[in-house]
Amino acid sequence: MSYVVTVVRDTPIEEEEIRDLAGSSPKFKVEVTDECCALRFASISGGKAEYFVLSGGSLDITSPSDAALEAAQEMAKVLGGRVIGEEGEDLSNVSASGGLGTVSGCGPLLGSILLIAVLLAIFWLFN
């Protein structure tokens, strides 16, 4: 199951800003195709490369690792933005080192909490 995390701000994030971010850290590299501009993230500790895709003035990453979530939080600070989960939750200040704040694959505990919240909302709506 995938989970999308987005770096957003009030004004659109521009490709030039992505290039500046890439130049500021060896963890990032810009990759541009006909379809999109992406920021390739490679953790210093290794692991698979992950991509932040520039789309509609925001940066999207699907099922980020803890290291990528931390990178998203750092980028949001530099860009004057926030990190938002696909359910609208603000992830700008959550701990990315495991537990409830983990969003890699949505994390079983977080998924269970969201499921319970949805079921309670449906119950209250129809009773």
**Predicted pLDDT of residue 88:** 92
**pTM over 0.85, yes/no:** no
What is the mean pLDDT of each successive set of 10 residues along the chain, which is 127 residues long?
90 91 86 83 76 92 90 93 93 72 51 75 79
Q: First and final CA of the chain: distance in angstroms?
A: 31
**Predicted pLDDT of residue 110:** 60
Where residue 14 falls (left for φ over 0; alpha for ψ -120 to 50; beta otherwise) is beta
Using the structure block, give the residue that is written with the tokens 């129809």.
126
Give how many domains the chain has, as a whole number. Answer: 1
Task: Domain of residue 93: give its range.
Answer: 4-126
C-alpha span between 111 and 95 (Å, rounded)? 16
**Predicted pLDDT of residue 43:** 72
What residues pair up with 30 in beta bridges, in sequence order? Answer: 39
**Predicted pLDDT of residue 11:** 96
Token reading at 84: 């938002």
Q: Longest C-alpha distance within the chain, in Å?
A: 56
CB neighbour list of residue 4: distance below 8 Å, 6 or more residues apart: 60, 61, 62, 63, 85, 86
CB count in 10 Å sphere of residue 2: 8
